[in-house]
Chains A and B, each alone.
Chain A
Amino acid sequence: MTFSRTALGSLKKTLPLILMALPGLIYLVINNYIPMSGIIIAFKKMDYSKGILASDWIGFDNFQFLFSTPDAWIMTRNTILYNLAFIAIGTICALALALGMNEIKERFFAKYFQGVFLLPNLISMVVISYVAFAFLNTDTGFINRTVLPALGLSETNYYTRAQDWPIILLIVYLWKNTGYASIIYLASMSGIDPTLYEVARIDGANKWDQIRLITLPLLRPTIVILTMLAVGRIMFSDFGLFYQVTMNSGALYSTTQTIDTYVYRGLMQLGNIGMSSAAGVYQSLVGFVLVLTTNYLVKKISPEDALF
């Protein structure tokens, strides 16, 4: 009797909380969990008339096809190399910018600079593709009509020259993301005890010594953690950067195709659901293993910064 009464009591206590959590949970189930079960599509010969469940199983055929094409290698190479460049160069630029901003003691100017450098991060990739277009197009582009003639160089059709895009996309990426990343480093810098610098000054340390011997070593955990988390996402790319900024130009695929653009093109433009879903599952599974691995490493360094 007492048992059931406490069970009833605890149900009365728990039920309202469950009901409150329910709408959000239902959304997660639909938006996230049902598509997870959809990875079986990659192992099927998808036939819309039969539906997903009744379509024929074909095992790893989709994966075999995918990895027998040159596309698999190109998109994997591009995704990883771009991410490595973004992580390495992006981190250095963000740290340099944060060190600079840390010198601005005037509150108004500090906020002003933060705002200016953050702004490119807040506009859509579509508008960024307009900006790139304004600089790069052949008819009216600033580079083609003003910069190249001034240098005595002839017109360049960037949207057909694949070899130029690694550097173009790196510049766009840095413009968009450096300010954002530097604000995070700046926040950690403001947490450093100022007496450390005063003591160093008394000992005759100049600014460069202070940066090298105090700021950077104390920022190391933040740098390591952000890098680890980025490495965990090395199989994923910013779809808009590689699809929209390149204006979906087919001539550029060799240097701009990433796993995300391949999945989109396979599904929406080529109607090749098998290859597209196989590429998606390949990305999700390798990505999952990488996230777990890097999270494990982050946990060893600094437990409170781990994702779980």
Chain B
Amino acid sequence: MKTLYSKSEKAFSSGATMILSALAIISLLPFLLIIIASITDEKSLIANGYSFFPRGLSLDAYYYMIAQARVVLRAYGVSIFVTVIGTAASLILTPMLAYPLSRPDFRFRGILTFIVVFTLLFNGGVVPSYIMWTKVFQLKNTIWALIIPNYLMSGFSVLLVKNYFEKNVPRDLIEAAQLDGANELTIFFRIMLPLSTPVLVTIGMLTGLVYWNDWINGLYYINDPSLYGIQQLLIRILDNIQFLKSGAAGSVIGNIVVDLPGASVRMALAVIGILPILLIFPFLQKYIIRGMVVGAVKG
């Protein structure tokens, strides 16, 4: 087959490789800038600004954050808690709703599917939601405000899982299990879920990413610094670097005499914020891409 490629096609292909390599480098430069900035000596930052080729390197920003570990670790803890609980709950709710909708013999399948789809088409906007979550459910300044509103279960994921059930779990298998006297819960846990791990990993990944990256629920519902997740801490510190020093989270931070290396600490914190994504991404790229490709059109 290879012989069929003409010279000009080979030239096109290597040209594409070169252009893509250049674009890939450009695309990575912003990440590189914040990483380099985080390990740049503060004096050099003040003299020359953020730069790809700093004069002096230093890990002061990271040492400083270790000294202030309470604030950072607490925010990390909040983010991890919210991400784990939110994703786990979502992974229970979503397939449990998707399963009845995937059963052709379920009597309310049509109307319930419509109820799910309609949430993708129309929404009441943030004002009524905000009033409901704060006045009726009293979620303001509770950890649940970071988990429950908006992201716990999306109609889109329900449809994704429903389609997967319909296409990938053979009807015969369900019918055979019913003949053997299995009840719906048994079928769900013993047949549907084990046969659907790829789609569950995909929506788990996407949901986890949404929770880890979310700052909007925090913006609306949290102003107690002890409930700040990592994204909110980042927002707060971009506005005011002194927040790290100010004995946030209600704690008094000892007699640290070092000057706050503000310009590099900011970027060090941003690096810490994306670290989990950078570490996990290579292993889960396949699942994320699969979810995005399926979801793009139906999203």
Contacts and interface: CB of A to CB of B under 8 A. Distances in A.
Q: Do A and B bind each other?
A: yes
Interface of A: 10, 13-14, 16-18, 20-21, 23-25, 27-28, 30-39, 41-42, 48, 52, 97, 99-101, 103-105, 109, 111-120, 122-127, 129-131, 133-135, 139-142, 144-146, 175, 179-181, 183-184, 187, 198, 201, 206-207, 222, 225-226, 229, 239-240, 244, 247, 263-264, 267-268, 273, 276-277, 280-281, 283-284, 287-288, 291-292, 305, 307-308
User: SS class of chain A's interface: helix, strand, loop or mixed?
Assistant: helix
9 contacts: A17-B106, A17-B184, A38-B132, A103-B17, A112-B24, A116-B28, A145-B48, A267-B126, A267-B127
B16 interface: yes
A86 to B, nearest CB: 15
A96 B122 CA distance: 33
Contacts of A281: 125
Contacts of B131: 38, 41, 52
A201 B281 contact: no
User: SS class of chain B's interface: helix, strand, loop or mixed?
Assistant: helix
B217 to A, nearest CB: 12
Nearest to A260: B126
Contacts, number: 282
Contact of A20 (B52, B184, B220, B231): B184
Contacts of B153: 24, 27-28, 31
Given A28-B153, A39-B128, A307-B298, A117 B27 contact: yes
Contacts of A181: 296
Contacts of A104: 16-17, 20
B277 interface: yes
A116 B27 CA distance: 7
Given A28-B153, A31-B149, A267-B126, A180 B34 contact: no
A277 B27 contact: no
B267 A130 contact: yes
B166 to A, nearest CB: 13
Given A127-B273, A201-B9, 4 more contacts: A117-B24, A124-B212, A126-B273, A134-B37
- B45, B96, B100 interface centre (most CB from chain A within 10 Å): B100
Contacts of A123: 213, 274, 277
Nearest to B120: A307
Interface of B: 4-6, 8-9, 12-13, 16-17, 19-20, 23-24, 27-28, 30-31, 33-34, 37, 45-46, 48-52, 92-94, 96-97, 99-101, 103, 105-108, 112, 114-117, 119-132, 135, 148-150, 152-153, 155, 158, 183-185, 188, 209, 212-216, 219-220, 231, 234-235, 238-239, 263, 266-267, 270, 273-274, 277, 281-282, 285, 288-289, 292-293, 296-299
A101 B289 CA distance: 15
A196 B254 CA distance: 71
Contacts of B273: 124, 126-127
Contact of B117 (A31, A134, A225, A307): A307
